Amino acid sequence: MLFHFLAFATYYIATHTERGVVDSEQLEMNVDVDIEDIPPELIGGENSPAKVEKDEWVEGTDKDGKDPEENEVDPNKLSGDGTDKDGFLFAFLGDKPPAAILDFDLNEFFPDSAKSQGIAYADITMEVQVDERGNLINAKVVKSTVRGYGFEDAALRVARAARWSPGYAKGRPTKMNHKVPVHFELRDN
């Protein structure tokens, strides 16, 4: 019990005593700095380095300050407008991405080699480029859960067989680049 009392008393004294404010005028500090001990280079003396002029570069020009020639400019790399290298707008920047219109059964495209191995499903992610009229310009597989059984080729055949609605940006049909999932699932008929 005595220990608790001592601990409490120590805490109370430490936290409730008045602390005085010390003004910097009251402090006595004698600090002597001898200028001779500092090298002249540091204080801008005899051996200070010569001033170096800063090169000024203006964005959109080459190192000489001349404008780049037309054949050197790739507007898709410089535009910053959210398009890929072919000028197709990335779908996440548009109002509505392009969509596949499937009027056939995906089971027609299920690979025979996968059926023979007992593989019942696979997910493929494709990147498609669809123009403003809904024409498929390009398609490529970017991800596949099952490789080597023909699902990639089957997904590309599905993309070519499907009709496409164009993507929209600012209320107008726009050529777009979009990632599309294709889910193959073998169903018994």
Digit-by-digit pLDDT tens for the chain (189 residues) are 777 777 777 777 777 666 666 676 666 767 666 666 666 666 665 555 556 565 655 555 556 656 656 565 555 454 566 777 777 777 777 788 888 888 788 788 888 888 888 888 889 899 999 999 989 898 999 888 888 888 888 889 888 988 888 888 888 888 888 888 888 888 765
Q: What Rg, from alpha-carbon coordinates, does the chain have?
A: 36
Where in the chain are the domains?
Answer: 84-185
Q: Which fold has domain 84-185?
A: TolA/TonB C-terminal domain (3.30.2420)
pLDDT 10s digits, 73-94: 555 454 566 777 777 777 777 7
